[in-house]
């Protein structure tokens, strides 16, 4: 079983240390943006089965960038992320958790290890996908974990940003925050435009392949 860590509020200095390497920023700046077609991709899930984004055309899709070694991910996996997954997959939303951590990072988990962690957390995404070379993460401009995206049934990116409005690692802040993903999905399912289509994502920088950290 993976060792569990205890986390407290991060200082401004610690948050600053999570910044991505400058060498990655030009590549991320060229990524798809809200209002554009979501880049199609095919990734293997933790069981080795290929999953293609476009196979879900006609359904809303959530993309959740995930790294179990990150305190911000662990904050939301105290029940918040699982509740969102369960509530919205029950309404026909496809939920894809994506891990882009390079394989030589201390945070890297093998497909079997990641699958086991998700099972231990009682998570229920539609699939958990491996993006070890970072191609898909770069295509979306994913910078941190958790970085969240919503794709509408027509295949257009309609939300990109944080899971909620309070950028901390404190579980107690979840109930006080505006959950942007819940808000956007409720609007989308009601046939309304997403009222807050972008926000500043917060979390741990993604440990991309061929990037110094």
- At 52-80, the pLDDT tens digits run 999 999 999 999 999 999 999 999 999 99
Task: Please say whether the beta carbons of 158 and 188 come within 8 A.
Answer: yes
**Whole-structure pTM value:** 0.87
Mind listing the pLDDT tens digit for each residue in 126-171? 999 999 999 999 999 999 999 999 999 999 999 999 999 999 999 9
Whole-angstrom Cα distance, residue 2 to residue 68? Answer: 10
Mention every residue, 6+ apart, whose C-beta is less than 8 A from residue 78.
171, 174
pLDDT single digits (tens) 68-124: 999 999 999 999 999 999 999 999 999 999 999 999 999 999 999 999 999 999 999
Tens digit of pLDDT for each residue in 175-199?
999 999 999 999 999 999 999 999 9
Task: Answer yes or no: is pLDDT of 13 > 60.
Answer: no
Burial grade of 154 (CB within 10 A; 0-12, 13-18, 19 or more): exposed
Q: Say which CATH architecture domain 24-205 belongs to.
A: 3-Layer(aba) Sandwich (3.40)
Please, what's the largest Cα pairwise distance for the chain? 44
| Domain range summary for the chain, segments of one domain joined by + | 24-205
């Amino acid at each position: 079983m993976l060792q569990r860590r205890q986390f407290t509020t991060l200082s401004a200095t610690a948050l600053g240390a999570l910044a991505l390497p400058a060498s990655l920023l030009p590549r991320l700046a060229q990524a798809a943006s809200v209002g554009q077609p979501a880049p199609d991709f095919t990734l293997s899930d933790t069981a080795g089965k290929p999953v293609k984004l476009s196979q879900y055309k006609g359904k809303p899709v959530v993309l959740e960038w995930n790294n179990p070694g990150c305190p911000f991910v662990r904050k939301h996996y105290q029940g918040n992320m699982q509740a969102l997954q369960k509530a919205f997959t029950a309404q026909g939303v496809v939920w894809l958790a994506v891990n882009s951590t390079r394989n030589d990072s201390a945070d890297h988990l093998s497909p079997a290890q990641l699958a086991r962690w998700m099972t231990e957390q009682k998570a229920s995404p539609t699939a958990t996908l491996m993006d070890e070379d970072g191609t898909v993460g770069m295509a979306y401009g994913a910078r941190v974990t958790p970085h969240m995206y919503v794709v509408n049934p027509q295949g257009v990116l309609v939300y990109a940003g944080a899971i909620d409005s309070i950028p901390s690692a404190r579980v107690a802040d979840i109930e006080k925050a505006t959950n942007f993903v819940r808000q956007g999905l409720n609007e989308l399912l009601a046939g309304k435009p997403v009222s807050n289509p972008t926000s500043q994502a917060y979390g741990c920088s993604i440990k991309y392949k061929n990037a110094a950290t």
